[in-house]
Amino acid sequence: MTDQGHPFGSDHPIGVAVLGMGNVGTEVVRIIQEQSQDLRQRVGAPLVLRGVAVRRLDVDRGIDPELLTTDARALVNREDVDLVVEVMGGIDPARELIGTALTAGKSVVTANKALLADYTGELAAAAEHSRADLYFEAAVAGAIPVVRPLIQSLSGDRVNRVVGIVNGTTNFILSAMDETGADYSATLAEATRLGYAEADPTADVEGFDAAAKAAILASLAFHTRVTAADVYREGISRITSEDLETAAAVGCTVKLLAICERVPASPGEPGSAQGGKDRISVRVYPALIPRKHPLSSVSGAFNAVVVEAENAGRLMFYGQGAGGAPTASAVMGDLVMAARNKFFGGRAPGESVYAELPIAPIGDTPTRYHVNLKVADRTGVLQAVAGEFAQHGVSISTVRQEGQDEGARLVVVTHHATESALADTVAALAELESVTSVTSVVRLEGTEE
Ligand code: HSE
């Protein structure tokens, strides 16, 4: 498409199809139309909107109705469409439409985390085959540039850890619970009323959305294909106001974290002296973090991602992780890149999965725990409780007693322990005559220990 006759630009348009006109699609269409002059300068050629695929035509969307179609496949296949923006979400028909576009050599920009978390391999292969581009900055943490830094800026470094708050809905809920003391159900209802949580909040509150993003981040960070099924996942629906209260008492708050971590091969492992493989741990769960940790101050619907790389050290990316205009900003950045590539003849980096690091099971991943127990307030109880921790090889860091008599509560914070050792300890604690109940077990992250 490079126009040799126009060294400073071309009048030959680059045709764009947008699939989906929800919050993000509406903003993408608006920006393409309102900023056409700037976009033309930045790309080198005009970006022309050829059409927008929607589900229904009987809605006034504030654009020329001639641009709207319900036939997404025909739109993708139009000869004057060079680039496809997929912001419809879901697996079907997005998977097929993106595949069709890529196979035809049309570059694709997508914000579809659920699709990428399972099918990046298939889509990247189609892109590779036809020398098209697949861009997806908007799939993780909305407006925040974190995909491109991992793929490009840090491609000469070795990433060891990526930890993020990548779901705004759950962060809004946990921040509100922390600030107001309200319980989970009341706060979820308020988040729904304010439009932060969807009518069916499952994907957000049970951690599926964050797990898809964690799979994408881990794939990029560790040059290994990681899918949603590889991610250990727990949501926030069991977090109580009491968890927030006891967290506050030890100088912590609770956040839903997406953690992607390199687990170095231990020196004793067979073959490690000859370069035995590191493994990777990818997990999403609510965890206590100290209030002095940089992620603790990320409140409301904001997102943040901390990347730790061997040479760069710690980097932090922060901003709006959802919403029409912020997500459209990331889509537009990709669209300009894809259009420039069409015009100047460059290509986006393809999928990099050469490292093929194995996934470490959650049972092998030691973390610290915050265990809340209701106990009888009498002599010997503390000894019995501590005995069970010792018996199962779980080392205690601190113990606090709150309340007295019937209302006595013990809060035990452990040193690092494996999931299985902790689970055995909890089962044994629940059998103790002096323990009324194990009211909660929440992990503790972000401490130096
Ligand atoms: N529902 C997501 C969130 C935004 O709450 O952050 C889209 O991934």
Q: DSSP letter at 44?
A: S
- Determine how β-strand 83-86 pairs with β-strand 14-19: parallel
Q: How far apart are CA 160 and CA 306, in angstroms?
A: 11
The pLDDT of residue 4 is 46
The pLDDT of residue 365 is 87
Q: Which atom of ligand 1 is nearest to the CA of 172?
A: 5
Model confidence at 5, pLDDT cuts 50, 70, 90, reads very low
Mutate to test the pocket of ligand 1, among 209, 255, 320 (most ligand atoms within 8 A of CB): 209
Instruction: Tell me if 204 CB under 6 Å of ligand 1.
Output: yes
In this prediction, residues 270-283 reach a mean pLDDT of: 74
pLDDT at residue 267 is higher than 70: no
Mutate to test the pocket of ligand 1, among 147, 169, 170, 200 (most ligand atoms within 8 A of CB): 169
Distance 217 CA to ligand 1 centre (A): 15
Topology given in CATH for the domain delimited by 362-444 = Alpha-Beta Plaits (3.30.70)
User: Which residue in 137, 169, 172, 170 sits closest to 152, CA to CA?
Assistant: 137
pLDDT, tens only, 36-62: 999 999 999 999 999 999 999 999 999
pLDDT, tens only, 154-183: 999 999 999 999 999 999 999 999 999 999
The pLDDT of residue 377 is 84
Q: Sign of the CA dihedral 34, 35, 39, 45? A: positive
pTM: predicted TM-score of the whole model, two decimal places:
0.94
Question: How many C-beta neighbours within 10 Å does residue 213 have?
Answer: 30
The pLDDT of residue 403 is 82
Instruction: Tell me if 209 CB under 6 Å of ligand 1.
Output: yes
The pLDDT of residue 268 is 59
404 burial type by CB count under 10 A (0-12 exposed, 13-18 middle, 19+ buried): exposed
Mutate to test the pocket of ligand 1, among 137, 167, 175 (most ligand atoms within 8 A of CB): 167
In this prediction, residues 260-277 reach a mean pLDDT of: 71
Q: Which amino acid is at 330?
A: A
Cα dihedral angle (428, 434, 440, 445), rounded to 10 degrees?
-70
Q: Which atom of ligand 1 is nearest to the CA of 327?
A: 7
The pLDDT of residue 274 is 44
Model confidence at 273, pLDDT cuts 50, 70, 90, reads very low
What are the domain boundaries of the chain? Answer: 3-142+325-344, 148-322, 362-444
Q: Is 141 helix (H, G, I), strand (E, B) or coil?
A: coil
Question: 157 Cβ partners below 8 Å, 6+ apart?
Answer: 309, 310, 311, 312
The DSSP element (H or E) to which 155 belongs, if any, is none
The pLDDT of residue 125 is 98
Kindly report the average pLDDT of the chain as a whole number: 94
Nearest protein Cα to ligand 1, atom 4: 322
Distance 169 CA to ligand 1 centre (A): 6
Distance 265 CA to ligand 1 centre (A): 34
- Determine how β-strand 232-233 pairs with β-strand 252-263: unpaired
Q: Tokens 């009211």 — which residue?
A: 439
Instruction: Tell me if 322 CB under 6 Å of ligand 1.
Output: yes
Q: Is 327 helix (H, G, I), strand (E, B) or coil?
A: helix
Instruction: Tell me if 207 CB under 6 Å of ligand 1.
Output: no
Q: What is the largest CA-CA distance in the chain?
A: 91
pLDDT, tens only, 182-202: 999 999 999 999 989 989 999
Distance 168 CA to ligand 1 centre (A): 6
The pLDDT of residue 448 is 72
Respond yes or no: is residue 342 known to be catalytic.
no
The pLDDT of residue 341 is 97
pLDDT at residue 2 is higher than 60: no
Question: 62 Cβ partners below 8 Å, 6+ apart?
Answer: none
In this prediction, residues 26-32 reach a mean pLDDT of: 98
Residue 147: HSE in the Cβ half-sphere, 13 Å Cα cutoff: 30
Q: How far apart are CA 287 and CA 101, in angstroms?
A: 41
Instruction: Tell me if 326 CB under 6 Å of ligand 1.
Output: no
Q: Which atom of ligand 1 is nearest to the CA of 170?
A: 5
Instruction: Tell me if 213 CB under 6 Å of ligand 1.
Output: no
CATH for the stretch 3-142+325-344? 3.40.50.720
Q: Tokens 């739109």 — which residue?
A: 75
pLDDT, tens only, 84-123: 999 999 999 999 999 999 999 999 999 999 999 999 999 9
Model confidence at 1, pLDDT cuts 50, 70, 90, reads very low
Q: How far apart are CA 403 and CA 18, in angstroms?
A: 59
The pLDDT of residue 407 is 77
Catalytic residue (choose from 213, 277, 292, 342)? 213
Distance 316 CA to ligand 1 centre (A): 19
The 3 state secondary structure assigned to 207-273 is CHHHHHHHHHHHHHHHCCCCCHHHCEECCCCCCCHHHHHHHHHCCEEEEEEEEEEEECCCCCCCCHH
CATH for the stretch 148-322? 3.30.360.10
Model confidence at 269, pLDDT cuts 50, 70, 90, reads low
Distance 209 CA to ligand 1 centre (A): 7
Q: How far apart are CA 126 and CA 131, in angstroms?
A: 8
Distance 425 CA to ligand 1 centre (A): 35
Cis peptide, bond prior to residue 93, ω within 30 of zero: yes
Instruction: Tell me if 168 CB under 6 Å of ligand 1.
Output: yes
Distance 289 CA to ligand 1 centre (A): 21
What Å distances lie between residue 170 and 181, 252, 352, CA to CA?
Answer: 16, 17, 31
Nearest protein Cα to ligand 1, atom 7: 322
Nearest protein Cα to ligand 1, atom 2: 167
pLDDT, tens only, 384-420: 999 999 999 999 999 999 888 777 999 999 999 999 8
pLDDT, tens only, 325-341: 999 999 999 999 999 99
Q: How far apart are CA 191 and CA 347, in angstroms?
A: 41
pLDDT above 90 coverage of the chain, percent: 88
